[in-house]
């Protein structure tokens, strides 16, 4: 059988809809095909074809990731799909590497994906490198210890996405991880949500202070999660929650708690969020470590050059970075930091530390501290003093977090 790997064309979309939908146990339909045609240019997707038939594909959506006042081109991967009869043949492995090569050609120095299958993607250089805090609770059981003052919520629709974007940009301008959102992302990936296989409009409220200024918003959707005793069981999923002031934060939670006919309210927020501690009985709020994105360094030299340096003074170390899939990353690098910038160049010097390209990703984002990486075996230390230098180089002002899914 002849196997070909190439970018999709528009003529391949009917086949792609079947492969992608069936891979995740959904039913392909023409509406899905039309959404692909509308939002995904064919060159974003690489496919594996056997005897001319598409059997697997991988899509990369171009985004911009914020990082303490800067932004870096980012390849958001998803879906990665393979028809069941063709799995375990190395097709997805080839597609992932091919997608990374395409990213480098396009100047996307970082890549990310959301998956519960860590072990698979770790083999190709991705590593969990962003965090979330997951909440689930019955709204009838939760009462706030502190109340808002001097403001109110107003409903907002998808046509007012720019109103939300102004709040989002203000909230995230110096953050570590959120995307720069374009209109198409707002209207189709934030303000719409999947509910039982259907794409539905989400509900949105804006918190307006007593002077008439927008200070926060919440985007959420009601989902049916079965029935009990003849009644439909409802879940409220909070898709996006942003507040610029404490009053907005409290007021938006007051609004969400009015949804007391729902069985549960669930969401994933910033790792430092303190909603549970705000409740009079925090034990009523189930709190878990949520799964942030897995991140991969596509190009070590360029990714480091675009990462801001927020440590003190100057710092430098030499690292042996192992990357068995991308030869331009594999080797020993001298990494220096000063005046708000990082710089990396190849060197023949003896390395101070050794690590895989996987480990570099959570160090880069600040999800993992260098001393923790060394103490747990993620980094092999040759010169112990280098760990203090690494702590400086990879310092962050905030934990890495993105409210977006892809």
- Tens digit of pLDDT for each residue in 54-109? 999 999 999 999 999 999 999 999 999 999 999 999 999 999 999 999 999 999 99
The string of pLDDT tens digits covering residues 238-285 is 999 999 999 999 999 999 999 999 999 999 999 999 999 999 999 999
pLDDT tier at 230 (50, 70, 90 boundaries)? low
Residue 232, pLDDT above cutoff 90: no
Q: Note the pLDDT of residue 225.
A: 78
Q: What pLDDT, on a 0 to 100 scale, did the predictor assign at position 186?
A: 97
Residue 190 pLDDT: 97
Q: How confident is the model over 378-395, as a mean pLDDT? A: 98
Is 377's pLDDT higher than 70?
yes
User: Is residue 231 pLDDT above 80, yes or no?
Assistant: no
Q: Please state whether beta strands 127-128 and 214-228 pair in parallel, antiparallel, or not at all (unpaired).
A: unpaired
Has residue 131 got a pLDDT over 70? yes
Mean pLDDT, residues 339-356 taken together: 98
pLDDT band at 139; cut points 50, 70, 90: very high
Residue 224 has pLDDT above 90, yes or no: no
pLDDT score recorded for residue 229: 65
- pLDDT > 90: percent of the chain: 91
How does residue 393 score in pLDDT terms, banded at 50, 70 and 90?
very high
Binning pLDDT at 50, 70 and 90, where does residue 32 land? confident
- Does 31 score more than 90 pLDDT? no
What is the band of 157 on the pLDDT scale with cuts at 50, 70, 90? confident
In the predicted model, is pLDDT for residue 195 greater than 80? Answer: no
Q: What's the pTM value of the predicted model, to 2 decimals?
A: 0.94
Mean pLDDT (whole number) for 167-190: 97
151-173 average pLDDT score: 95
Q: What is the pLDDT of residue 367?
A: 98
């Amino acid at each position: 059988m002849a196997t070909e790997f190439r970018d999709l064309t528009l003529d391949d979309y009917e086949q792609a809809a079947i492969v992608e939908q069936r891979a995740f146990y959904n039913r392909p339909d023409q509406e899905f095909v039309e959404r692909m045609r509308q939002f995904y240019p064919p060159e974003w997707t690489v496919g594996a074809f056997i005897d001319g038939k598409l059997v697997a594909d991988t899509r990369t959506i171009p985004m911009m990731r914020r990082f303490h006042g800067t932004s870096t081109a980012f390849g958001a991967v998803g879906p990665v799909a393979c028809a069941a009869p063709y799995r375990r043949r190395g097709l997805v492995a080839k597609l992932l590497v091919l997608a990374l090569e395409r990213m480098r050609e396009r100047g996307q120095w970082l890549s990310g994906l959301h998956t519960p299958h860590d072990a698979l993607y770790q083999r190709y250089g991705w590593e969990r490198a962003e965090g979330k805090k997951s909440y689930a609770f019955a709204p009838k059981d939760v009462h706030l210890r502190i109340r808002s003052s001097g403001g109110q919520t107003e409903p907002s629709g998808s046509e007012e996405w720019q109103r939300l974007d102004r709040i989002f940009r203000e909230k995230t301008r110096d953050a570590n991880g959120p995307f720069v959102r374009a209109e198409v992302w707002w209207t189709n990936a934030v303000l719409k949500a999947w509910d039982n296989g259907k794409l539905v409009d989400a509900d949105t409220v804006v918190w307006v202070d007593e002077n008439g200024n927008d200070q926060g918003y919440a985007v959420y959707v009601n989902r049916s999660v079965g029935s009990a005793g003849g009644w439909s069981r409802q879940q409220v999923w909070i898709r996006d929650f942003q507040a610029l002031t404490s009053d907005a934060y409290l007021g938006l939670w007051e609004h969400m708690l009015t949804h007391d006919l729902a069985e549960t309210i669930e969401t994933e927020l910033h790792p430092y969020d303190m909603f549970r501690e705000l409740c009079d009985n925090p034990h009523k709020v189930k709190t878990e470590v949520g799964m942030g994105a897995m991140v991969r360094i596509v190009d070590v030299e360029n990714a480091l050059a675009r990462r801001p340096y927020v440590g003190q003074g100057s710092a430098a170390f030499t690292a042996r970075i192992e990357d068995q899939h991308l030869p331009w990353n594999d080797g020993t690098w001298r990494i220096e930091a000063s005046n708000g910038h990082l710089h990396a160049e190849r060197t023949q010097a003896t390395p101070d530390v050794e690590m895989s390209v996987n480990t570099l990703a959570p160090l880069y984002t600040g999800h993992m501290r260098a001393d923790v990486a060394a103490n747990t075996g993620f980094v092999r230390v040759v010169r112990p003093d280098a760990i203090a230098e690494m702590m400086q180089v990879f310092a962050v002002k905030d934990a890495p977090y993105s409210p977006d899914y892809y």
